[in-house]
Amino acid sequence: MAAPLFERVAIKRGIDTILDATIFLLLLSLLGYRLHFLRTNGFHGLHFTAFLCEFYFTFTFFLLITIKSNPLRFITYPHRLLKRVEEIPAVDVFVTTADPSLEPPIMTVNTVLSILAVDYPVNKLGCYVSDDGCSPITFYCLTEAVKFGKIWVPFCKKYGIRLRAPFRYFSNALEAEQDRSQEFLHEWNIIKGEYEMLCRKIKEANETRDAGDLPFFSGTDSKNHAPIIKIIWENKEYENVLPHLIYVSRGKRLKHPHHYKAGAMNVLTRVSGLMTNAPFILNVDCDMFVNDSNAILQGICPFIDPKNDKEVAYVQFPQRFYDGLKDDLYGNQLIVSMECIVPGLAGSQGPSYMGTGCIHRRKVLYGQSPNELNINGNILGSKLYKTFGNSEDFIKSTTSALMGIADYPKSLQCSIEALHKVASYNYEDGTCWGAKVGWYYGSVTEDIFTGMMIHGKGWKSIYLNPNPPAFLGCSPTNGPSTFTQLKRWTTGFLEILFTKNCPIFATLFGKLHPKLCIFYVWIYLWGPLSIPELCYSLLPAYSLLSNSHFLPRVHEREIFIPLLLLVLYNLQQVLLFLKTGQSIRAYWNNQRMAIVNTMCPHFFGVVGIVLKLLGLSETMFEVTKKDSSSSDDDGETDEGSFIFDESPLFLPGTTVLMMQLTALFTSIWRRPAKPGGVGEVICSVWLILCFWPFLKGMFRKGRYGIPFSTICKSSSLTLLFVYLSEKKKI
Ligand SMILES: O=c1ccn([C@@H]2O[C@H](COP(=O)(O)OP(=O)(O)O[C@H]3O[C@H](CO)[C@@H](O)[C@H](O)[C@H]3O)[C@@H](O)[C@H]2O)c(=O)[nH]1
Ligand SMILES: [Mn+2]
C-alpha cells in the first residue's frame, strides 16, 4: 500500500485542562454561594442579577471547555502526493474582491500572483476572480499581473521560492536567500525592477482612474450592470507557464438582492463549472495570499487519502495574519483561538468553515450527502433544473461533477451565452441556490452558516495548521474597522440562531455532531453575552454609589472564590499566550479586547438583529477596509493608541468607563476611610484598566480621540445612572 498522505497526532494540553476544571468548579461554587445567600436572606436584587449573569458566564465557559477537549493535529506529506501525479485532481481557485477603495487592487494582484505560482500541476489549476466592484481598474491590474506573472512564476519555480506573493517576498532582505549565485542575483534584480514597475502602473491607474480602453466596461454602474466575464489568460498545453485566469463580475440590478459574498461565490461556482469544473474548489479572500507554495498540495492530501475519500467535505487552514499591530492592540490576531480552540473541533467532526483558506469538494456544494453514491445521470433530469437553474450547459457540467467524472469540459471554450446566463442577476430566481446548494444565503456570516449546513449532512472537515502558515491575510488595524467586522459577525451568527437552521435542530434531526453543536451554539451566543456582561459591569458601580455589596465582604471566606477566579483565569490566559509565542502585553490587550468587544460591537450586533426582527432595518455586509503597506497614511501615527470615530459602537464602552470612574471617585470622596467593598473596588478598577485606551481617548483629539458627541451622550447616561443608583431606584 502507498505511504499515507496524512496522519493525525493528539495534542497534549497539560496544565490547561487542570485550570479549566478548577475554574469551572470555582464558577459552580460562586453560583452555590449566590443560591445560599438568596435562600438565607430572601430575594435581593443585586445578588439575583449577579446570579443570572454568573449563570450565563458559567454556561459559556462550560461550552468552551467542552470544545477545547481532546485536540488533534494533522500532518500532511505533500511530496508523496507529488510523486503520484496522475492522482492529483484539478482545483479551481476563487478569489473575491468587492471594492477597490477598501481593498487595494495591488493586494488582489499579489493574492492572484501567489496562486498562479503555486507548486501544483499548471494544467490542473484555474483561478477565478470575482469583482463585485465591477472595476475596470481591477481588471486592468489583473492583465498587468499576468504579464509580470510570466517571469515571476518561472523565477519562483526555478529557485524553489516558498513565498510567492511578490510584495512579501521583496519586503524580506535579500540576505535571507539561500541561493546567492551571480545568476540568481542578476535575475532577482531584474524581477524586482519589473515588480516595482507593476506597482507603479497600478498606482498610476488607481490615481488617474484610467484603465485604458476597455469597451466592455463603458457605461457600467457597479450596482447595476450585465455580467462581464473575460478570460485574462488561458493556459495552452504547449506553454504551460501560468494556469487559467478568469475575471468575473456578475450581473446586478439595483433592487435585486445579490447576497454579497455568498452570491459571488455561487456565481463563480457556476462559471467555473462551465469552464473547468474541477472537483475541488479553493477559496481565498482578496487579502489572503498563499504563503507556502505547497499549500494546495497539502490541502488536497486528506481528500486523496483512501480512508477519508468518502467523508471529508472541506479542508480548512487557520486564518493567520501578517503585519499585525504590535502586541495585538485590537486583539484580533486570533492566535489562541486558532491554536487552542479549533484543534478541539479537529478531533471531532472538524473545524467550522472560515470563509477563506478552505478547499471544498464541489459535489458537497451541489448538495450531496456523504452516503449518497455518485448519482446516475438519468434519474434526476427535471429535478436538476429545479435545483440548479435553467441552463442546459450547466446541468451537464453538474451531472458530470455529481457523477464524479473528472475531466469535463476539456477547454475554456464554452459558450459566452451560457456563461452570461449563469452569471446574470436573476439566474437563481426559483432555484435552490443559497438554500440547498452552494453557499447559503440569509446570514452575513455565510461561511460559518454554509459550513454548519455541510456538517449537518454528516460530512467531516479537516483542520490543517502547518508551519509556516499556508495562507496569510490581513486583519483590521483600527478601532472602527475592528468593531464593524465584529458587529457583522455577531449579527450574522444571530441570523442563523433564530431560524429553523439552528444547530440544536441540526443535531436532533440531522447529523451535526454534539460537539460541533456546542461549538456553533457557543459562537452564536457571543452577541447575547453582551447583555449579562453589560449588566455585570454596572454592579460594582452601583454598589459603590449606593453603598451596597454584590460580592462577599473581606471578612467572609467566600471572598476567595471571586479572587481565585480572577487570578486563575488570567493565569490560564497568560500561559496560553506564552505557549503560542505571544507576549504578556498581547495577553493583556486580548483580555481587555474580549471585554471591550463584548460590550461594544457584540452588543450592537444584537441591536442590529432586534431591529431586523422588528422589520426596522436590514442587515448589510460592510466590507472590511484593508490597509496595504503601499497605502498612504494621513498625518501622525501612534501605533500603541486606539483609533476612534463618530460611530455609536463606542458609546457603551465610554459609558461603562465613565460610570466606573464616577462611582469610584464618589465612593472615595464620601467615605475616604472606607471607600466601599474590596471586591467592588477591584472590579471597578479592573474595568477602568480594560477601558484604558478609551480613557486616553477622552483627552485626545482627532482620530485618537473619542468624539465630543459620544462623550456628551455617555455623560448624560452616567448622570442618569448615578441619580438612579443613589436613590436606589434600580
Ligand atoms: O458584497 C460582497 C462583500 C464582500 N465580498 C468579499 O468577501 C470577502 C470577505 O470580506 P471582508 O470584508 O474581508 O470580511 P472579513 O470580516 O474580513 O471576512 C471574514 O468573515 C467573512 C464573513 O463575515 C468571511 O466571508 C470571510 O471569508 C472572513 O475572512 C472579501 O474578499 C470581499 O471582497 C464580496 O465578494 N462581495
Ligand atoms: Mn477580510
The answer, yes or no, to whether residue 8 has pLDDT greater than 80, is: yes
* Rounded distance from Cα 441 to ligand 2 centre (Å): 19
Largest CA distance in the chain: 88
Residue 33 identity: Y
Return the number of other C-beta atoms located less than 10 Å from residue 269's C-beta.
26
* Rounded distance from Cα 286 to ligand 2 centre (Å): 8
Residue with the smallest CA separation from ligand 1 atom 1 is: 260
Higher pLDDT, 214 or 432: 432
Under 8 Å between Cβ of 450 and 361: no
Question: Which pLDDT score, from 0 to 100, does residue 217 have?
Answer: 92
Can you tell me the distance from the alpha carbon of 580 to that of 336, in angstroms, rounded to the nearest whole number? 7
The ligand minimizing its distance to the Cα of 484 is: 1
The ligand minimizing its distance to the Cα of 622 is: 1
Under 8 Å between Cβ of 642 and 479: yes
The ligand minimizing its distance to the Cα of 624 is: 1
Q: Show the cell assigned to 69.
A: 477537549
Q: Which atom of ligand 1 is nearest to the CA of 489?
A: 23
Q: Which atom of ligand 1 is nearest to the CA of 103?
A: 33
Using alpha carbons only, what angle is made at residue 274 by residues 273 and 279, rounded to the nearest 5 degrees? 30
* Rounded distance from Cα 58 to ligand 1 centre (Å): 32
Return the number of other C-beta atoms located less than 10 Å from residue 179's C-beta.
12
Residue with the smallest CA separation from ligand 1 atom 32 is: 97
Helix (H, G, I), strand (E, B) or coil at 719: helix
Is 249 a pocket residue for ligand 1 (Cβ < 6 Å)? no
Is 608 a pocket residue for ligand 1 (Cβ < 6 Å)? no
Alpha-carbon distances of 714 from 383, 556, 656, 707, rounded to whole Å: 58, 36, 8, 11
* Rounded distance from Cα 416 to ligand 1 centre (Å): 28
Residue with the smallest CA separation from ligand 1 atom 36 is: 261
Please, which pLDDT band fits residue 309 given cuts at 50, 70 and 90?
A: low
Can you tell me the distance from the alpha carbon of 459 to that of 351, in angstroms, rounded to the nearest whole number? 11
37-76 burial: b if 16+ Cβ within 10 Å, else e = beeeeeebeebebbbebbebbbbebbbbbbbbeebbbbeb
Please, which pLDDT band fits residue 727 given cuts at 50, 70 and 90?
A: confident
Alpha-carbon distances of 720 from 382, 658, 662, 725, rounded to whole Å: 65, 12, 12, 9
Contacts of 411 (CB under 8 A, 6+ apart): none
DSSP of 57-99, one letter per residue? HHHHHHHHHHHHSS-EEEEE-HHHHHTTGGGPPPEEEEEEE--
Instruction: Choose the residue to mutate in 259, 623, 624, 625 for probing ligand 1, maximizing ligand atoms within 8 Å of C-beta.
Output: 623
Residue with the smallest CA separation from ligand 1 atom 17 is: 624
* Rounded distance from Cα 350 to ligand 2 centre (Å): 22
Can you tell me the distance from the alpha carbon of 677 to that of 692, in angstroms, rounded to the nearest whole number? 22
Mean pLDDT computed over every residue of the chain: 92
Name the one residue in this structure whose C-alpha cell is 467572609. 556
The ligand minimizing its distance to the Cα of 482 is: 1
595-616 burial: b if 16+ Cβ within 10 Å, else e = bbbbbbbbbbbbbbbeebeeee
Can you tell me the distance from the alpha carbon of 570 to that of 564, in angstroms, rounded to the nearest whole number? 10
Is 444 a pocket residue for ligand 1 (Cβ < 6 Å)? yes
Please, which pLDDT band fits residue 420 given cuts at 50, 70 and 90?
A: very high
Higher pLDDT, 82 or 423: 423
Is 399 a pocket residue for ligand 1 (Cβ < 6 Å)? no
Tens digit of pLDDT for each residue in 190-224? 999 999 999 999 999 999 888 888 889 988 899 99
Is 264 a pocket residue for ligand 1 (Cβ < 6 Å)? yes
Instruction: Choose the residue to mutate in 107, 110, 285 for probing ligand 1, maximizing ligand atoms within 8 Å of C-beta.
Output: 285
Torsion-angle region of residue 42: left (phi > 0), alpha (psi -120 to 50) or beta? left
Handedness of CA 484, 487, 489, 491 (dihedral sign): negative
Name the one residue in this structure whose C-alpha cell is 436606589. 728
Question: Across residues 66-94, what is the average pLDDT?
Answer: 93
Backbone phi, then psi, for 651, in 5-degree steps? -65, -50
Helices (H), 580-703: 584-597, 603-613, 651-670, 678-690, 692-698
Tens digit of pLDDT for each residue in 624-642? 998 765 344 455 577 778 9
Tens digit of pLDDT for each residue in 22-65? 999 999 999 999 999 999 999 899 999 999 999 999 999 999 99
Instruction: Choose the residue to mutate in 93, 94, 95, 96 for probing ligand 1, maximizing ligand atoms within 8 Å of C-beta.
Output: 96
Higher pLDDT, 175 or 458: 458
Can you tell me the distance from the alpha carbon of 552 to that of 573, in angstroms, rounded to the nearest whole number? 25
* Rounded distance from Cα 521 to ligand 1 centre (Å): 22
Residue 649 identity: L
Using alpha carbons only, what angle is made at residue 429 by residues 427 and 621, rounded to the nearest 5 degrees? 90
Strands 460-463 and 312-316: parallel
Residue with the smallest CA separation from ligand 1 atom 24 is: 355
The ligand minimizing its distance to the Cα of 356 is: 1
Catalytically active residues are 132, 447
Alpha-carbon distances of 503 from 444, 492, 494, rounded to whole Å: 17, 14, 12
Q: Show the cell assigned to 216.
A: 466592455
The model carries a pTM of: 0.95
Question: Across residues 94-105, what is the average pLDDT?
Answer: 96
Please, which pLDDT band fits residue 306 given cuts at 50, 70 and 90?
A: confident
Is 451 a pocket residue for ligand 1 (Cβ < 6 Å)? no
Is 393 a pocket residue for ligand 1 (Cβ < 6 Å)? no
Can you tell me the distance from the alpha carbon of 152 to that of 237, in angstroms, rounded to the nearest whole number? 19
Helix (H, G, I), strand (E, B) or coil at 128: strand
Return the minimum-mean-pLDDT range out of 89-103, 316-330, 409-423: 409-423
Can you tell me the distance from the alpha carbon of 684 to that of 540, in angstroms, rounded to the nearest whole number? 6
Question: Across residues 606-626, what is the average pLDDT?
Answer: 90
Tens digit of pLDDT for each residue in 467-476? 999 999 999 9
Question: Which pLDDT score, from 0 to 100, does residue 636 have?
Answer: 58
Can you tell me the distance from the alpha carbon of 16 to that of 575, in angstroms, rounded to the nearest whole number? 8
Is 619 a pocket residue for ligand 1 (Cβ < 6 Å)? no
